[in-house]
Structure 1
């Protein structure tokens, strides 16, 4: 296991090297008195463990660790410090361990043994996963989730890591500035705290993506972030593209349309109401409503009244004030000659409009109801006249 030492006291270099030399599994490959040279070294060499002092000139150990995490490296970081009060901040940059000076040989040995114990299972797990093909899906309709064909689902490190995933995803691969991310996701928080939380959240998201083998899909530089979607399937993008392709639903496309409607399992991000996503969620909701209305009209034309009613009832739950879906539902009940259901739906719609926005059904809706009811009444009387028992 390769390790480097970063400490502005030369004496600590000697002490740590002597102590680490007693552990055969560790090789100290470099030591540094400041973090800039150490970071440059890390860009060119693979290292398993970093032993770094927190109290350093210019850039302290915590700030250095943040840079390491932002670069995407998951190198185990062990802080060596004389100060206990930094332990909470060390957690924010996912420190592997936190050792207070003077360093005891046994304490150091236990840290290294724990690192070695973790390293072997990681390699075994990677070896087991490499031969298997694994398709990854990003799902945001009704939820925020990542799924693989191997049955794995995302285990979010925090609610903010899930939110960052959704935020970058709706930008469809476009770069987003750090300033805009901080404003939209951490607004109202002091700038320095917001920057720390953003760094931690980016690192958490990268860890989740790495568990699916798509860590490289998260792009970052000093001022921007982006989430590539070229190697994964995204449910709301697939739904949107499907709606464009099926602008006309007829006998040749109705089965495709039925499958596409099933893809919309709920509004964007489900119950997670992010202020920055309201416009996009509303746009997709309206797209779903318009598409499903066309599908229901096609089903009614094909005589599949029950299937149309099931979808129209689903639309009523989705948006109980939508008049076009309501009028299609009345027509479907009229086709079934179900006067009771027709009347019940109209009265419910009338009550909802009055309760929610204080208005009555439109003239078109009320006239259609009267027309359908009259037609059913005429049909009933005609049947009664033709009945042999009369």
Structure 2
């Protein structure tokens, strides 16, 4: 069980350290003389029990506890103080226990044992609730989603927690500095406020991951964060790897390519417009377009025009000015001998180009249209 000590008196640190050392299954992971650094630590690390003095400079133990609760932290708090009269107020902030100084070893032992018993009970309940096999998927194509094998989805506590998940996901397991995250996600906000928001967002993301048994996948030290992608299905990584392997889509790969295409359910992060993500959104979009063009060429070569048209219409809906998609669509419609649809689509494309950017179709597109019409007429 991980515990921290918060007290402005050095002597109290020595006393608590000596007494806690006698308790089995207890690890002191932090000692703090004021609440600010302790608060920052708790926002980035999991702690089972906090021993905190009430009377301290700048921020009292009560105020510290209230701030923790307001930020969603439910960590067990034990007030250690010389003031008996605060006991009734301690439970307003859901204190786990209240110990009056001087601390008695037996009294401390009872508190530790009760906390350990509750921790074991919580683990047993979690073990009963979670199946032995619980595959989790991280999805960021077309949205931002975490889903387990039972179809249960994570409910985001805030838009920023979903954004931080996406931010760390595209860094693919690499550590990212707090400074960089604050610049990209909280730019323009006063530094102190930004740091506080980041701490809260990290906590919310860790709690979200905990609902699918992946709390430990969010790694952190004092200045960096990383999201582990081990043993997790990530649609973006699967799509990128598939596209990399299929530089050419021959007839033997068409079925595999069609399955890969279905992974792309929309732009990276869907409708969530993260300013820092625009370059990556565009890169993945171009990767999808290039891959789909290769797939459609193979489909047309195999005379699977209906499937090709379905994919091309999806591409054109995504970018109605994409000339290569339109030229492939014209070829598909010509293969179906659908002169009316061919003419309608080309004229729509020509009109859109003129209205949107004031130009005519390229000579290549115009020549292809004339050639296809001539073949159909003959």
Matches within 5 A, 1:100-179: 102-104=86-88, 107=91, 112=96, 122-129=122-129, 131-179=131-179
Structure 1 residue 71 corresponds to structure 2 residue 33: no
- How far residue 370 of structure 1 moved from its aligned partner, in angstroms, is 1.3
Q: The residue matched to 2:251 in structure 1 has which SS?
A: coil
- How far residue 173 of structure 1 moved from its aligned partner, in angstroms, is 1.2
* Compared CA separation, residues 130 and 336, structure 1 to 2 (3 A): closer
Cα separation, 1, equivalents of 2:4 and 2:332: 73
What does residue 310 of structure 1 align with? 310
* Residue segments in structure 2 that go unaligned for 5+ positions in a row: 55-59, 98-113
| Greater displacement, 202-211 / 256-265 | 202-211
Structure 1 residue 234 corresponds to structure 2 residue 234: yes
Q: Contact conserved, 2:8 with 2:34, CA < 8 A, in 1?
A: no
What does residue 295 of structure 1 align with? 295
- How far residue 356 of structure 1 moved from its aligned partner, in angstroms, is 1.6
Q: The residue matched to 2:142 in structure 1 has which SS?
A: coil
Higher relative contact order structure (alpha carbons within 8 Å, sequence separation ≥ 6): 2
Q: Contact conserved, 2:138 with 2:235, CA < 8 A, in 1?
A: yes
* Compared CA separation, residues 375 and 76, structure 1 to 2 (3 A): farther
Q: The residue matched to 1:226 in structure 2 has which SS?
A: strand
Cα separation, 2, equivalents of 1:105 and 1:60: 21
- How far residue 151 of structure 1 moved from its aligned partner, in angstroms, is 2.0
Structure 1 residue 280 corresponds to structure 2 residue 280: yes
Q: The residue matched to 2:361 in structure 1 has which SS?
A: coil
Cα separation, 1, equivalents of 2:126 and 2:309: 49
- How far residue 350 of structure 1 moved from its aligned partner, in angstroms, is 0.9
Matches within 5 A, 1:88-107: 90-92=69-71, 94-95=73-74, 102-104=86-88, 107=91
* Compared CA separation, residues 79 and 108, structure 1 to 2 (3 A): farther
* Compared CA separation, residues 4 and 259, structure 1 to 2 (3 A): closer
Q: Give the greater-gyration-radius structure (CA).
A: 1
Cα separation, 1, equivalents of 2:373 and 2:43: 68
Cα separation, 2, equivalents of 1:294 and 1:320: 18
**Aligned residues between the structures:** 347
What does residue 101 of structure 2 align with? none
* Residue segments in structure 1 that go unaligned for 5+ positions in a row: 11-30, 53-57, 379-390
TM-score under structure 1 normalisation?
0.77
Cα separation, 1, equivalents of 2:333 and 2:137: 39
Q: Contact conserved, 1:268 with 1:284, CA < 8 A, in 2?
A: yes
* Compared CA separation, residues 123 and 45, structure 1 to 2 (3 A): closer
What does residue 342 of structure 1 align with? 342
Cα separation, 1, equivalents of 2:51 and 2:266: 41
Deviations 1:304-347 (A, max 9, x none): 11111111111111111111110010111111111111111011
- How far residue 108 of structure 1 moved from its aligned partner, in angstroms, is 7.4
* Compared CA separation, residues 60 and 171, structure 1 to 2 (3 A): same
- Could you say what the CA RMSD is over the residues aligned between the two structures, in angstroms? 3.7
- How far residue 62 of structure 1 moved from its aligned partner, in angstroms, is 4.6
TM-score under structure 2 normalisation?
0.80
- How far residue 73 of structure 1 moved from its aligned partner, in angstroms, is 2.8
* Compared CA separation, residues 184 and 121, structure 1 to 2 (3 A): same
